Structure 1
Amino acid sequence: MTRAWVLPMSLVVCGALVATTQFVGGSPGVAVALLLMFGLLAGLHSPLVFPPSIGAEEAQRRSAVDGRPIVYWRAGCKYCLRLRFRSGRSARRLHWVDIWRDPAGASAVRAANDGDETVPTVMVAGRPHVNPDPEWVRRRLPPAA
């Protein structure tokens, strides 16, 4: 679970150090701007941006019932972030599994990708699709009830 927070926390710490250096150097405006920029980057790469993750077994069970795709992702992955943002509100209708929090999810991704933990891996009807186009994923969602 803590692995998902390594990158965001590193960005916060680095941002604080750089901002402090700028502030001490007499540039408080630059310091504030840098601190905000690093904070935004930390937020974008944190698990907070994604819909709540569930376990791989639960995602598979839910997907079998409702037909929605399963997205295996991890924090800090720019391709996962791209899928999340370009999916828009539809992202909440997908089943999200954080492979850094769920060993069964990581195992499912490795099984689908010849041993690699390549994300995002989207499972649609039991078939894996690595880094698919977000529009393609949205088209795979069943109509909203």
Structure 2
Amino acid sequence: MRWLWVLMLGGTTFLVVDAVSEGSATAAVVYGTIGLALTWWFSPWQGGRNVPHAEIQSRPESGRPVVIYWRPGCVFCARLRGRLGRAGRRALWVNIWQDEDGAAYVRSVNGGNETVPTVVLGNRPVTNPDPRLVLDQLGAR
């Protein structure tokens, strides 16, 4: 799953080139738009800036009020990010596909599964929490 975006980019390129070679510019634009959107959705850069798990653990507890472990392509992570809006910028985000220590932490609190979003509120991990709970912790409500 971690490299799905590479396959999607290759497939998109193939479809666009094929549509152009058949003379269908409209199909090429549609394939390109949809393919690039899906490629971005599954890419590791989708979420913006991420903080390494090791850096978070080295901070005092008061310096990490909300930590959100996520991965690209996760619908529940996108829902949480969308519902948090600008307040989500105050949280520390860890992409578990880019940070093996973060993935190990998520597995340790979720019975061996990489279930995301896993949100640490204070020192308590919560899996797929209600966005209102996270907003309350961020002081955005």
Same structural fold, with TM-score higher than 0.5 when normalized by the shorter chain: yes
Q: Which residue of 2 aligns with 1:70?
A: 67
Tell me how far 1:20 sits from its aligned partner.
1.9
Residue 89 of structure 2 corresponds to residue 98 of structure 1:
no
Q: Which residue of 2 aligns with 1:52?
A: 49
Residue 76 of structure 2 corresponds to residue 79 of structure 1:
yes
Tell me how far 1:63 sits from its aligned partner.
6.5
Q: Which residue of 1 aligns with 2:114?
A: 117
Q: Give the fraction of aligned pairs with identical amino acids, expressed as a percent.
A: 36
Cα distance, 1:63–1:93 mapped onto 2, change above 3 Å = farther
Unmatched runs of 5 consecutive residues or more in structure 1: none
Distance 2:117 2:88 in 1: 13
Contact map agreement 1:51 1:92 (CA 8 A) in 2:
no
Q: Which residue of 2 aligns with 1:135?
A: 132
Kindly provide the CA deviation profile for residues 83-104 of structure 1, in whole angstroms up to 9, marking residues without a partner as x: 2222211221111111122222
TM-score using structure 2 length? 0.85
Aligned residues: 140
Tell me how far 1:69 sits from its aligned partner.
0.9
Unmatched runs of 5 consecutive residues or more in structure 2: none
After alignment, is 14-23 or 118-127 more displaced? Answer: 14-23
After alignment, is 20-29 or 58-67 more displaced? Answer: 58-67
Q: Which residue of 2 aligns with 1:38?
A: 35
Residue 29 of structure 2 corresponds to residue 29 of structure 1:
no
Contact map agreement 2:46 2:72 (CA 8 A) in 1:
no
After alignment, is 46-55 or 87-96 more displaced? Answer: 46-55
> What is the alpha-carbon root mean square deviation over aligned residues?
2.0
